[in-house]
Chain A
Amino acid sequence: MPDTAIAEAPARAATGGNILQVRNLEAWYGESHILHGINFDVNAGEVVTLLGRNGAGKTTTLKSIMGIIGKRTGSVKFNNQEIIRATSDKIARMGVAFCPEERGIFSSLDVRENLMLPPVVREGGLPLDQIFELFPNLKERLNSQGTKLSGGEQQMLAIARILRTGASFLMLDEPTEGLAPVIIQQIGHTIARLKKEGFTILLVEQNFRFASTVADRYYVVEHGKIIDGFSNSELAANMDKLHTYLGV
């Protein structure tokens, strides 16, 4: 696939400045206390991955940042603005986009409607031709019902629709779950291209092998807390510890 469109696009952000700051984040589902004080940072232009076992609180962390968990406390700052009390629509309009684990493709909408659904929240979103360059399958299936797509195509659609909006900070929840290796590879290439484009990405993954191909830094979540963090260059030195954390 040609890389020209992406390469020619202006850089979205230079790696460095702090874009997300999470401090002492706690969250509840009804009476269940899920997050017990999460602390981490994401810098502009980085791909940061949250690792952890099932039920550790990774997805809840993303949902809490996005404002779709009923009860949450602590501090979440996006571009130095406090968003812990903001509603999810306001957070989205600040430039945060969320791609849920279950993909959230709408069955009553066709592919085109699903793709065009999220409103453009700011300038700088990818135009449709670049999106179709990243995901050519979608162009051929624009008139199909959203949920008639294969799992891989649905995942592509779920990522594609948030790229249009101009959001600069993407949260992807388990984008490779249940997908064939060839599709996982394609999603890996896409994330690498988006990083090159200047998007900042917070990724939740159980597939560590996949995460290691795209991430700059890792945080390990266990029992609703961050228990460790290291950069990609420190990965080899931390492999044994990581295997213990993830139980692999």
Chain B
Amino acid sequence: MQALYAQLLVGLINGSFYALLSLGLAVIFGMLNIINFAHGALYMMGAFVAYFLLNLGGINYWWALLLAPIIVGIFGMILERTMLQWLTGLDHLYGLLLTFGIALIVQGVFQNYFGSSGLPYAIPEQLRGGMNLGFMFLPIYRGWVVVFSLAVCLATWFLIEKTQLGAYLRAATENPTLVRAFGINVPRMITLTYGLGVGLAALAGVLSAPINQVRPLMGADLIIVVFAVVVIGGMGSIMGSIITGFALGVIEGLTKYFYPEASNTVVFVLMVLVLLVKPTGLTGRAA
């Protein structure tokens, strides 16, 4: 039983990263109509920024949770202003190819300077150790990642679904021309939205650094699964991305316990099944 709970916890942690990353992808796709293949590289940059902040500036994990998303978010906004904005109105394929190219360049640069092996990032002192829950041992840092990710996901959902700013975002997703004619600076809002989505990826990178180490290819390994999560949840659906992210992490964890051979493919099998039954994803709306 201990092993089952341990795999459930691993599943929840993976689900946290899936949820944060797919949430960012969903926000970006909903607003910019761009399938952001650079998302994994930006997640990796978040982890590296936390590493640099600690090792070059002596800035600890808690500040990195705040600063890394801002720094990488600004990098993302520069990407949007200088490159992605020119793709408005073109086929999805152009955005996908451009962001794929950006991902390869960013990963290549980091690989050139840091190789492929992982750099250590220590768990902050306050989150070391664990708790015996009776039925399992819970490492505190892992519990923190799950709780904090869930809180960030719900806060993002609240921002988009329940605030005036979110209403602007949702309306601009449907009809940006009319929203702009109401007096809202839509291009600036698009840039900020891309920054928000990228910031979420970077935040996931910082959370991941003490668990998975800091590696140039850490995002490339994850991004394919995250895309499957987004497709299952429904492209552009905020709550769909959050629920599917956590659920698929748990399903993956359970598969590792019951049938380990299928643990790496179960997400893709589910994706195929969902696409066959509901091509818009579980919570996606038809175009």
Contacts and interface: CB of A to CB of B under 8 A. Distances in A.
B182 A68 contact: no
Contact of B180 (A89, A108, A109, A113): A89
Interface stretch (A49-57, A99-107, A192-200, A206-214): A99-107
Most chain A CB atoms below 10 A, which of B168, B179, B182, B186: B182
A165 B185 CA distance: 16
Interface in A107-122: 107-109, 113, 116-119, 121
Nearest to B173: A108
B171 interface: yes
A137 interface: no
Nearest to B168: A117
B180 A87 contact: yes
A106 B181 contact: no
A89 B186 contact: yes
A144 to B, nearest CB: 15
A109 B171 contact: yes
Contacts of A68: 177, 180-181
B175 interface: yes
A92 B181 CA distance: 6
Interface in B15-71: none
Contacts of B270: none
A107 B171 CA distance: 8
B178 A165 contact: no
A45 to B, nearest CB: 23
A107 B174 contact: yes
A116 B183 contact: no
A187 interface: no
Nearest to A91: B181
B48 to A, nearest CB: 36
B109 to A, nearest CB: 36
A246 to B, nearest CB: 28
Interface residues of B, number: 18
B118 to A, nearest CB: 42
Given A106-B174, A107-B174, A108-B173, A88 B181 contact: yes
Contacts of B174: 106-108
Interface residues of A, number: 25
Nearest to A120: B183
Contacts, number: 56
Interface in B115-172: 164, 167-168, 170-171
Contacts of A108: 170-171, 173-174
A89 B173 contact: no
A78 B118 CA distance: 62
A162 B178 CA distance: 12
A172 interface: no
B182 A117 contact: yes
A77 interface: no
Nearest to A100: B178
Contacts of A119: 182-184
A92 B185 CA distance: 10
Contact of B167 (A67, A107, A109, A121): A109
B167 A117 contact: yes
A109 B170 CA distance: 8
A88 B170 contact: no
A151 to B, nearest CB: 18
A91 B177 CA distance: 13
A68 B180 CA distance: 9
Nearest to A162: B182
A106 B183 contact: no
B171 A106 contact: yes
A117 B171 contact: yes
A151 B228 CA distance: 39
A23 interface: no
18 contacts: A67-B181, A68-B181, A89-B180, A89-B183, A89-B186, A92-B180, A92-B181, A104-B178, A106-B174, A106-B175, A108-B171, A108-B174, A109-B170, A113-B167, A118-B182, A121-B183, A162-B182, A165-B183
Given A68-B180, A89-B185, A107-B174, 17 more contacts: A66-B181, A68-B177, A68-B181, A88-B177, A89-B181, A89-B183, A92-B182, A97-B182, A98-B181, A106-B171, A109-B170, A109-B171, A117-B171, A119-B182, A119-B183, A165-B182, A165-B183
